Each structure stands twice: as C-alpha cells, then as structure tokens.
C-alpha cells in the first residue's frame, strides 16, 4: 500500500513544480538512494493534507472507495475479498530503510 501511495504522490507531482520546502533529488547524484530515502517520507508528511496547486488529494486519511482481491488460480479453494469505503490512517508515516 505504501508503494501505491508513493506512486500516487510521484505521479501527481511529476508534471508540476515541487514546492521549495520539498527536497529534490537528482538522478545524477551518486547518493540518489539516500536522498530519496530522506526526501520521499518528508514529502509525504508535508503533503498529507493535500495540495490543490499540485492537484494532490489529501493522503490522511487515504480514502479508497472500493478494492477487490481474488484468487483465480483455479484451485480447490477460491477466495474473493471486497472492501468498500476504506479509510487508511498513517499511510504517510513511513521510513525507507533500503533504497537500492
């Protein structure tokens, strides 16, 4: 779920300029992984209330209208899970321990 959240944040801001308080990392930085490990959780915390200028919806709580999981392996037991109207709290409170 955190990878999904991170992806949504990055996609949301990829075409816009980041606010100056958010640290930017460059691909050419030899310590890119360290930079991302520091800046991504910080950015998620700063953007948890959303940002209209960047088109980012509030991330706390993260609201998911509907999500489905299913087992379609064709085995003897099939499990299908459907969740609706979810509110996830704490999704912006994370650390990145390995950035390789």
Token representation of residue 20: 């100056």
For each successive 10 residues of the chain (100 residues), what is the average pLDDT?
Answer: 54 63 88 90 90 88 92 77 94 83
- The pair phi, psi for residue 12, each rounded to 5°, is -60, -35
pLDDT at position 15 is 45
The Cα 72–Cα 57 span in angstroms is 33
Question: Cα-Cα-Cα-Cα dihedral of 87, 92, 97, 100, to 10°?
Answer: 90
Q: Structure pTM? A: 0.62
Cα angle vertex 52, ends 20, 50, to 5°? 80
pLDDT at position 1 is 52
> Computed over its alpha carbons, how large is the radius of gyration of the chain?
17
pLDDT at position 4 is 53
pLDDT at position 98 is 77
């Amino acid at each position: 779920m955190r990878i999904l959240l991170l992806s949504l944040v990055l996609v949301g801001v990829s075409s816009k300029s980041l606010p100056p308080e958010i640290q930017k990392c460059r691909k050419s930085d030899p310590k890119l992984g360290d930079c991302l490990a520091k800046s991504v959780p910080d950015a998620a915390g700063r953007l948890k209330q959303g940002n209209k200028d960047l088109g980012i919806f509030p991330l706390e709580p993260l609201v998911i209208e509907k999500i489905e999981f299913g087992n379609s392996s064709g085995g003897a037991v099939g499990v299908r899970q459907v969740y609706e109207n979810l509110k996830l709290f704490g999704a912006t409170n994370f650390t990145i321990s390995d950035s390789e």
